[in-house]
Amino acid sequence: MSILKVARMGHPVLRARTRVIDKHEIRTEVFQKLVDDMIETMEEYSGVGLAAPQVHEGKRLFVALLDPSGRGEGEPMVFVNPEITPLSDARVDGWEGCLSIPDIRGRVPRAPHVKISALNREGKRFELELRDFPARVVQHEADHLDGVLFFDRMRTFESLTFMEEFSRYKAQPDEEDDE
């Protein structure tokens, strides 16, 4: 396994819509290595999610830790060709960060309750109903597959902050999201 280079804001790969992955591609050694490398890269950078465009791959794929506490515990999940359906019209602001936009946080409105349908790393379809932090994580990562960064979802930039300042002045125990 390898730690992959993470694309940073400004790289065109982060603004491009990704391609759907063919079911036969999922079973290949190359694809499985990409998944393993993405998980290792996410863990190396203490992230809770990582989308393929963030490692310079234009594919509809992300990995995520869906620990409701937001501490990044548990087993990483693989989402291939995900489709998200909000299960509420409500939007809740929450702090988000991004491995492609290091050291910055901002408050982003997201649906607090979603259904996600995807293929797993074996190519089998699954569905999950998620709330709160896990729902936020999958929405953030799925946005990357459409070339959308969390800045694009913000209502205002007044909450943008550097991590050092966030830790000092803004962080509340329930609000530390790290995507």
Cβ(159)–Cβ(177) under 8 Å? no
Catalytic option among 96, 141, 176, 179: 141
Contact 18, 60 (CB under 8 A): yes
**Is residue 96 annotated as part of the catalytic site, yes or no?**
no
Sign of the Cα torsion 53, 177, 93, 161 reads negative
Give the C-alpha separation, 41 to 47, whole Å: 9
Give exposure, 2-14, as e/b (b: 16+ Cβ within 10 Å).
eebebbeeeeebb
- In whole angstroms, what is the distance from residue 68 CA to residue 135 CA? 9
Phi, psi at residue 37, to the nearest 5°? Answer: -65, -40
Cβ-contact 79, 64 below 8 angstroms: yes
Burial class of residue 128 in the structure, from the number of CB atoms within 10 Å of its CB (0-12 exposed, 13-18 middle, 19+ buried): middle
Which positions are catalytic?
141
